[in-house]
Structure 1
Amino acid sequence: MRTIARSMTVTLLGVLVSLACAADPVAVTDPAAADADFKFQGEYAGVLKVDGDEQKWGAQVIALGDGKFHVVGYEGGLPGAGWNELDRREADGQLRGATVTINADDTTLTLQNGQILVTDQAGANLGTLTKVVRKSPTLGAKPPQGAIVLFDGTTADHFEPGQRSDDGLLIEGATSKQKFGNFSCHLEFCLPYMPAARGQGRSNSGCYYQGRYEVQMLDSFGLEGKDNECGGIYSIAAPRINMCLPPLAWQTYDVDFTTAVFDQDKKVKNARITIRHNGVVIHRDLELPGVTAGNLLPENAEPGPIHLQDHGNPVRYRNIWVVPK
């Protein structure tokens, strides 16, 4: 009887473990391995007729898994490309066959073949938004004279532990061996496609400048842009505008950092930071009153490293260089 009970317990535990593993959201790092929803996700832009007038509009289509989608519309154009930074229209949709249909207030959006057809309740055509693929203007930026190249794809020896993926990218959980005071830094990162994940479990990492101040990396595509989302600085400041691109798009952070000033053990000036996310300023000369959670080092006068957080998701990095000042 004990043997049977023990066997049943082992079997039950095995089933529970299998279910737990099956429930873990899949992280896709190669577009070729993505699901059928992936081709619909992304950014769209065009002109729509609104109350008889033609207006520029942008839309971000977010895949949520199992054929479900969330769409955010932006009057004036996409974030950083015309949006008035005031009006967001949101709605949900479902994939049926080869088409995603979204009912939004008094309009219907039909996604197919890289376009969104917008019609009113009577079926009249209000316009079409076409899929666009934006790239950061600083993508591929070459290190200037005097720059210290931390990662160019050839070696990860400038980081600890310093691991490269099979396709020559830097793997998360790396800390630069060199430490910095005042500096400018360029890095490029790619967030995995995790449509079934939500919140902080959706493609999470972060860059800790000086190992003290984290700028969040997260699949925040289409979200409001909070201090715990992409470009945010935890508990200190949300980005001025959410410039997060869709997952699997390469993105950039360009940072100018001024270290805190100490008189012996007393801090007399806070650190300051300016951040450009995909070429757009999201924090300008922001004062950092203290370290953020998960910091490697306490706040003091000593220089610190560039730390790329391992939060359990396969975020990848390339083209990282620093110009000391």
Structure 2
Amino acid sequence: MRTHGMRNNVFKTIATVALLAPTLSACAATEEKLEPWQQAQKTEVWEPVPAVVATPVNKAPSDAIVLFDGTDLSAWESVKGGAAAWTLGGDTVTVKPGTGNIRTKQSFCDVQLHVEWRAPKPEEGMDGQLRNNSGVFFQERYEIQVLDSYDNKTYPNGQAASVYKQTIPLVNATRPPGEWQAYDIIFTAPTFSGEKLKTPGYVTVIHNGVVVQNHVEIQGTTEWIGAPKYQAHGCAPIQLQDHDNLVSFRNIWLREL
């Protein structure tokens, strides 16, 4: 009985294929008759249509959140409480030593950040980490180092554009002191399931047009002493660091991703 049943199944399969053969042949023939442009249309996707973003030269994109355009510090506050107390002048804001870090009033997760910074010419004897130090902190925890790293020897995972004390830049793209530097940073925030890390953070850093961090994994919080670590948190502000040095900033904007 089993052999007879198997034979029937085989016959049914052959019969089905025979019935489908004309249809398959017709489809193949139709495919062959299509013009190249008709065949190409089959892989065209027309929706969704990306939003249009204006990109004026030397200005923030039209969909950006402008954090500092040279006029005021209304988007910022002191981490010590109250208004940001750094010094405004021209189109720049400069660290006022001793006033403390400043942070955005708004919290962010995944972002594209543009920030320009300038270190003054160093005083005699100022070398290493004393060479006009500051930093850009994402979510108040993860620092991209700001430092005059032009002809300035220090530990490489602490030089300009490093993920501080974690990842060494691919190259040193620092311009001489007194010149403006530009960071374009893509930051992917870590995610958590309860108190447990679900996915780590990642960062790409472009320094003066050069990729120096290529989607590197953030190992945890920035620590001066000890190993980095993760602790669950949500979206949080961006901080600029007061390291008692007269570092200036301008043209700060971001796009939420």
TM-score, normalising length: structure 1: 0.54
Higher share in strand = 1
1:219 to partner: Cα distance: 1.0
Once residues 299 and 214 of structure 1 are traced to their aligned partners in structure 2, the CA distance between those partners, rounded to angstroms, is: 15
Structure 2 match to 1:262: 192
Structure 1 match to 2:252: 320
1:216 has 2:153 as partner: no
Structure 2 match to 1:229: 159
Which structure is richer in relative contact order (CA contacts within 8 A, separation 6 or more)?
A: 2
Once residues 178 and 171 of structure 1 are traced to their aligned partners in structure 2, the CA distance between those partners, rounded to angstroms, is: 21
Moved more, 226-235 or 160-169: 160-169
Once the two structures are superposed, residues 134-181 of structure 1 have per-residue CA deviations (whole angstroms, 9 ceiling, x without a partner) of: xxxxxx732112210000011111111323423342233321111100
1:169 has 2:92 as partner: yes
Once residues 144 and 299 of structure 1 are traced to their aligned partners in structure 2, the CA distance between those partners, rounded to angstroms, is: 33
The counterpart of 2:176, out of the listed 239, 246, 259, is 246
1:293 to partner: Cα distance: 2.0
Structure 1 match to 2:64: 147
Structure 1 match to 2:29: none
The counterpart of 2:118, out of the listed 180, 183, 190, is 190
Change (3 A) 1:188 1:299: farther
AA paired with 2:134?
S
Once residues 138 and 147 of structure 2 are traced to their aligned partners in structure 1, the CA distance between those partners, rounded to angstroms, is: 17
Aligned residue pairs total 185
CA contact (8 A) 1:184 1:323 kept: yes
AA paired with 2:234?
E
CA contact (8 A) 1:223 1:242 kept: no
- Aligned to 2:88, what secondary structure does the other structure show? coil
AA paired with 1:307?
Q
AA paired with 2:179?
A
1:232 to partner: Cα distance: 1.2
CA contact (8 A) 2:109 2:188 kept: yes
Once residues 323 and 164 of structure 1 are traced to their aligned partners in structure 2, the CA distance between those partners, rounded to angstroms, is: 25
What aligned pairs does 1:1-325 form with structure 2 within 5 A after superposition?
141-161=58-78, 162=84, 163-172=86-95, 173-196=101-124, 197-223=126-152, 226-293=156-223, 299-325=231-257
Could you say which structure has the larger radius of gyration?
Answer: 2
1:200 to partner: Cα distance: 1.1
TM-score, normalising length: structure 2: 0.67
AA paired with 1:191?
A
Once residues 260 and 167 of structure 1 are traced to their aligned partners in structure 2, the CA distance between those partners, rounded to angstroms, is: 37
AA paired with 1:214?
E
CA contact (8 A) 1:212 1:299 kept: no
Higher share in helix = 2
CA contact (8 A) 1:171 1:314 kept: yes
AA paired with 1:200?
Q
- Aligned to 1:146, what secondary structure does the other structure show? coil
- Aligned to 2:161, what secondary structure does the other structure show? coil
**Which structure 2 segments of 5+ residues have no match?**
1-56, 79-83, 96-100, 225-229
Change (3 A) 1:321 1:264: same
1:314 to partner: Cα distance: 0.5
AA paired with 1:207?
V
Runs of 4+ in 1 over 6 A off after TM superposition: none
Once the two structures are superposed, residues 170-200 of structure 1 have per-residue CA deviations (whole angstroms, 9 ceiling, x without a partner) of: 2333211111001100000010111411111
Once residues 312 and 159 of structure 1 are traced to their aligned partners in structure 2, the CA distance between those partners, rounded to angstroms, is: 19
- Aligned to 1:185, what secondary structure does the other structure show? strand
Once residues 181 and 195 of structure 1 are traced to their aligned partners in structure 2, the CA distance between those partners, rounded to angstroms, is: 38
CA contact (8 A) 2:119 2:178 kept: yes
Once residues 291 and 304 of structure 1 are traced to their aligned partners in structure 2, the CA distance between those partners, rounded to angstroms, is: 13
Once residues 299 and 190 of structure 1 are traced to their aligned partners in structure 2, the CA distance between those partners, rounded to angstroms, is: 32
- Aligned to 2:89, what secondary structure does the other structure show? coil
CA contact (8 A) 2:182 2:207 kept: yes
